[in-house]
Structure 1
Amino acid sequence: MPEPRSPMASFAESVLNVIDGPITWFRESIVEPNQQKQNWYHQRFRRVPTIDQCYTDDAVCRFEADQQFRRDRMVDNEIVNILRQRFEDCTLYEAPDHMVKCRPLMDQYEKATENWFIKYGDLGGYANAKTAYMKQKHRLIWERRHGPVGSGMKEEAAH
């Protein structure tokens, strides 16, 4: 560190050391050694109970389940967008043979969009964990009564 050029600069540096010294020492000797080094740059949230594990009068649990649902929906949206972008890039790069060479990417994208629609389709922009749970419940009841969605309805047994 260079020598202060004046008594005022020397005084300012000593005040800085008195104020900043303990803060710097605390950060370098306590905070930084105890931090977990991570290879990702996004925030990781702990998983919380889903809406079916919450009591009906537990507002905090329901709020956390809704937040988890929104985060999961954003992640699933990004996954579908990335797969779509990969397929489009492959199509542009591999044309005119793209229908043969990009078929695995297209199948993967179509399966992801089907799964996304099963989970989030027709819920609207203001959906929450409860509406998604009810959609899942109604789908399971439908499949129990009529067979898988899209396969046509079961024939009623003649008695």
Structure 2
Amino acid sequence: MNANLNASAVVAVLAALDPVSQAAGTVNTGWIDMQNWFRAMAVVQVGALGASATVDAKFVQAKDGSGGSAKDVPGTAITQLTKAGTDDNKQVIINLRPEDLDFNNGYRFVRLSLTVATAASLISALVLGLDARYGAANMSDATTVDEIVN
């Protein structure tokens, strides 16, 4: 740990699902190449859940950047958010380590998948890369990152 580094030098925004009232269905980030990261973390946010709505989130892994042979990353599915009023305005964090992926069989790409069922709900998410293998993390920020203030 180097206390002289800005946080943006060790944490990058790799993907985002912008805040939206999502109707029933699944939304995904783009595929992220994990060979460049020691760790990743998803921060899932929900606002108001629709009546009887549910929200699920998980990491999915693939062999290439187009989603070849995609399959779930074991142990990364959240406990389903289910109760309007109780689960409104909550955040869920999903940690991802290299050993969670099936690297031995060529799986090195991941994406975050969020599924809303039954009724529209407010959702958003960020996938953060931590501890870049090469250079400063912010060199790999998503193109949607507009500014870093130091």
TM-score by length of 2: 0.21
Report 1 or 2 for greater relative contact order, CA contacts < 8 Å, sequence distance ≥ 6. Answer: 2
Instruction: Give the number of the structure whose alpha-carbon radius of gyration is greater.
Output: 1
* Greater helix fraction, Structure 1 or Structure 2: 1
